[in-house]
A = this chain, B = another copy of it.
């Protein structure tokens, strides 16, 4: 059993979330699991790192063969702490989630779950983020667990291209029709701020909003397949360069 892969699991909903427990359960058969997560939720933390505060790590010990560590850092901090402080060796895989809520389309940029997967990829570790399209703290992750196993088996067999990580989203349905690899839809959050006044008369604002698919006519996007009850796998790159707009002979007169 010395060749068992080491699998780092993290998330952005915190170590007590149902999603990460269900992910550990689904992944257990594939290797030695090490969980490094925060003691609170870091939703919407994107690829943020903690530079102004010190980071703490608490070793919670082993339970049922799984090692647990809790930190006060963001999901990306958790990955960095795992790679550079907690683990003696680089993990073979990083798996993040299962997020309570969608990370499809441009939500990939706001997501702490996907930040952790991107950070794994930057460090050369094959990494996957999983998200269920339900914000319910007690959501049913049974279909998601099937998708996790299926996608991970494929990565285990075929590997992942260097500098590529996977953004996997799962529809909130009792019967996932299948799994489609596809591109990210163009979309954005139509924001509103709810305005309130505090007891001292100062106005304050709560961020709220709805996601809008900006290309509802397209039939090859994650949004399209998710709305048709398919799970989606978007291969993502850490190279943000827009090659279609890149003109290396561009003349700027300084």
- Please tell me if A21 contacts chain B, counting CB pairs below 8 Å: no
Chain B residues contacting A167 (CB-CB under 8 Å) are 240
Return the CB mask of A7-33 against B: 1 if under 8 Å, else 0.
Answer: 000000000000000000000000000
- Please tell me if A242 contacts chain B, counting CB pairs below 8 Å: yes
Stretch at the interface among A60-68, A92-100, A185-193: A185-193
- Please tell me if A1 contacts chain B, counting CB pairs below 8 Å: no
Q: Is the CB of A163 within 8 A of B186?
A: yes
Q: Is the CB of A150 within 8 A of B45?
A: no
Return the CB mask of A210-254 against B: 1 if under 8 Å, else 0.
Answer: 000000000010000000000101111111111111111010111
| Least CB distance, A71 to chain B, in whole angstroms | 9
> What is the bound-complex CA distance between A203 and B85, given in angstroms?
12
Q: Which residue of B lies closest to A160 (CB)?
A: B245
Q: Is the CB of B115 within 8 A of A246?
A: no
User: A254 touches which one: B123, B146, B203 (CB < 8 A)?
Assistant: B146
- Please tell me if A181 contacts chain B, counting CB pairs below 8 Å: yes
Chain B residues contacting A235 (CB-CB under 8 Å) are 241-242, 245-246
Return the CB mask of A172-213 against B: 1 if under 8 Å, else 0.
Answer: 000010111111101010011101100000111111000000
Known: A151-B252, A241-B237, A246-B182. A205 touches B85 (CB 8 A): yes
Task: Give the oligomeric copy count.
Answer: 2
Q: Is the CB of B50 within 8 A of A84?
A: no
Return the CB mask of A71-84 against B: 1 if under 8 Å, else 0.
Answer: 00000110011011
CB-contacts of A32-91 with B (<8 A): 41, 43-52, 54-57, 76-77, 80-81, 83-85
Q: Which residue of B lies closest to A193 (CB)?
A: B85
Q: Which residue of B lies closest to A162 (CB)?
A: B186
Chain B residues contacting A196 (CB-CB under 8 Å) are 54
- Please tell me if A161 contacts chain B, counting CB pairs below 8 Å: yes
Q: Which of A57, A84, A191, A252 has the most CB of B within 10 A?
A: A252
Nearest 8 pairs of A and B residues by beta carbon: A237-B242, A179-B252, A54-B204, A46-B47, A235-B245, A181-B250, A46-B46, A236-B240
